[in-house]
Amino acid sequence: MRSHLLNDLTAEQYCRSVKEGVERVAARIAATDRPFTGITVDELAPRIDRIDLDRPLGDTTAALDELEEVYLRDAVYFHHPRYVAHLNCPVVIPAVLGEAVLSAVNSSLDTWDQSAGGTLIERKLIDWTTARTGLGPAADGVFTSGGTQSNLQALLLAREEAKTDDLARLRILTSEASHFSVRKAAKLLGLGPDAVISVPVDPDKRMRTVCLARELERCRRDALVPMAVVATAGTTDFGSIDPLPEIAELCAQHGVWLHVDAAYGCGLLVSPTRRHLLDGIEHADSVTVDYHKSFFQPVSSSAVLVRDASTLRHATYHADYLNPRRAVLERIPNQVDKSLQTTRRFDALKLWMTLRVMGADGIGRLFDEVCDLAAEGFRMLAADPRFEVVVEPALSTLVFRCIPAGVTDPAEIDRANLHARKALFASGDAVIAGTTVDDRHYLKFTLLNPETTLDDLAVVLDLIADHVEQYLGESLDRAS
């Protein structure tokens, strides 16, 4: 068994084993002609059920053969140009290399004595990101597992900084298009069921600042305490960016913590042409960035940033065995003092390798490409009589639906679009997402693959229209 551990005696086995696995994945990626095989749960589950975990194969090749059967052959592949569903990106190779390094060395970033250089690399990347964000010299932050955790931590700090301990009076104001993790965080933070005030959006799905101003006034009148405004820089469905300068102004007037959720829009920080879309983010008290969305990094890679490093103390607890108080006096950098996690992956290494190999502009250009594609896709959809498209994208999503000629029943249009999405997934020809707008069912492309072309989108739209036609044909048959 010892030889299964990565230690100095097994370096050779490590190379062989990883090489074999990497070659498998590379061959699989080269062979995928569709983003998905269309396999169903009922087909796949028995293959996994059959496997007896108490009877190991004892052999890497055999285990990889088995993995082909239960996972690799039928996985959903984000690198395929016709995977245009959720906020998942194809990953850049320097980051994948970073992933391989970090899991082999297995540093844990909670304390200096478990990571050494890893701690300093993470800190430097946080400083780099806060500088790009414009948060000022007192800024700091920490890597997290994702936007959900970043939003939770930011709101924890905001709650601790709020001017009351009366949880029942605390309110968070955020647009109706913001991410559901804001509500989840409110619940975890012990706030009441009415704690999150939903601010209406304009036709472009951006927070209406007049409504925000009104809600802030209403809070004041009702002796409620707005503990944070959560602005979104890139809503999950529409990629819309709330008017950050105006929101920052209102937060300053009312003395309210401004959190900017840039989980999706953070790629603009490195965009050579679109950085201005984030203007105003520099006024934030805290910011969420998900490198695993628009920096083309493998899951997980995310950070929470704060304007004032001292606010991170609300996450500080000391354990004698790990990060005793005296370590602070000795100026030993223990990142656990800033984090909700204890043992923590060295995810920062992936971004480090990416910046060292490709550079920030390289990443920014990739993000620009998908934003350009979305703009072209919008024009194509707007010109196509089969489709109705919702908003002109600021980033890289397109929300639309097929309106077949001659069909007027809204419920039937809903069913036809739902059917098209499911049928497409079952075929594996493309993977798309869906959402609702004004209670009607829409389809969504999230474009994060620079290899996706306008032709790919045209092909997928034709497939959607075909599935819709087919559904309506069958629907007529059912009626007659």
Ligand X SMILES: *Cc1c(COP(=O)(O)O)cnc(C)c1O
240 or 452, CB closer to ligand X?
240
* In the complex, least distance from residue 397 CB atom to ligand X, rounded to whole angstroms: 10
The residue within the footprint of ligand X, chosen from 87, 152, 189, 260 (CB under 6 A), is: 87
Q: Residue 61 CB, nearest distance to ligand X (Å)? A: 35
Q: Which of 247, 231, 246, 277 is nearest to 375 (CA)?
A: 277
Print the binding letters for residues 320-359 with ligand X: x by CB under 6 A, - otherwise: ----------------------------------------
CB of 342 to ligand X, least distance (A): 19
* Nearer CB in complex with ligand X: 98/265: 265
Q: Which two structure tokens, joined as six digits, stand for 51?
A: 């496997």
Q: Which is closer to ligand X, CB of 236 or CB of 286? A: 236
Q: Which of 185, 241, 258, 263 binds ligand X (CB under 6 A)?
A: 263
Supply the minimum distance, in Å, between the C-beta of residue 138 and ligand X: 25
Residue with the CB atom nearest ligand X in the bound state: 147
User: Rounded to the nearest whole angstrom, what is the least distance from the CB of residue 151 to ligand X in the complex?
Assistant: 6
Binding characters for ligand X, 132-171, by CB under 6 A (x = yes): --------------xxx--x--------------------
| Three-state SS sequence of the chain | CHHHCCCHHHHHHHHHHHHHHHHHHHHHHHHCCCCCCCCCHHHHHHHHHCCCCCCCCCCHHHHHHHHHHHCHHHCCCCCCCCEECCCCCCCCHHHHHHHHHHHHHCCCCCCHHHCCHHHHHHHHHHHHHHHHHCCCCCCEEEEECCHHHHHHHHHHHHHHHCCCCCHHHEEEEEECCCCCHHHHHHHHCCCCCCCEEEECECCCCCECHHHHHHHHHHHHHCCCEEEEEEEEECCCCCCCECCHHHHHHHHHHHCCEEEEEECCHHHHHHCCCCHHHHCCHHHCCEEEEEHHHHCCCCCCCEEEEECCHHHHHHHCCCCCCCCCHHHHHCCCCCHHHHCCCCCCCCCHHHHHHHHHHCCHHHHHHHHHHHHHHHHHHHHHHHCCCCEEECCCCCCCEEEEEECCCCCCCHHHHHHHHHHHHHHHHHHCCCEEEEEEECCEEEEEEECCCCCCCHHHHHHHHHHHHHHHHHHHHHHHHHHC
**Residue (114 or 271) nearer to ligand X, CB:** 271
Nearest Cα to 241, choosing from 294, 304, 149, 178? 178
Contact (CB, 8 A) for 291 and 364:
no
Q: Which of 114, 175, 240, 302 is in the footprint of ligand X by CB under 6 A?
A: 302
Piece of the chain touching ligand X by CB under 6 A; list 43-51, 118-126, 218-226, 260-268: 260-268
Provide the minimum distance between the beta carbon of 434 and ligand X in the complex, in angstroms, as a whole number.
16
# residues contacting ligand X (CB under 6 A): 14
- 474 Cβ partners below 8 Å, 6+ apart? none
**CA R_g for the chain:** 24
Query: Which amino acid, one-letter code, is at 47?
Result: R
Which of 110, 215, 282, 290 binds ligand X (CB under 6 A)? It is 290
Q: Which is nearer to ligand X, 224 or 277 (CB)?
A: 277
| Phi then psi dihedrals of residue 440, to 5 deg | -110, 150
To the nearest whole angstrom, how small is the minimum distance from the Cβ of residue 433 to ligand X? 12
Closest distance of CB 86 from ligand X, Å: 9
Residue closer to ligand X by CB (options 107, 148) is 148
Of 74-82, 257-265, 382-390, 451-459: span binding ligand X (CB under 6 A): 257-265
Q: How far is the CB of 451 from ligand X (least distance, A)?
A: 22
**Site for ligand X, residues 219 to 238, rule: CB under 6 A:** 232, 236
What's the min distance (Å) between Cβ of 178 and ligand X? 7
The answer to whether 249 touches 233, Cβ cutoff 8 Å, is no
Q: Which is nearer to ligand X, 87 or 248 (CB)?
A: 87
**In the numeric block, which tokens belong to residue 19?**
């090489």
Nearer to ligand X, 182 or 420 (CB): 182
- Should residue 181 be labelled a site residue for ligand X when binding is judged by CB under 6 A? yes
Min dist. Cβ of residue 301 to ligand X (A): 9
Under the criterion CB under 6 A, does residue 242 sit at the interface with ligand X?
Answer: no
Shortest separation between residue 293's beta carbon and ligand X, angstroms: 6
Q: Which is nearer to ligand X, 231 or 402 (CB)?
A: 231
Is residue 301 a contact point for ligand X (CB under 6 A)?
no
In terms of CB distance, is 237 or 246 closer to ligand X? 237
Q: Which residues bind ligand X (CB under 6 A)?
A: 87, 146-148, 151, 179, 181, 232, 236, 261, 263-264, 290, 302
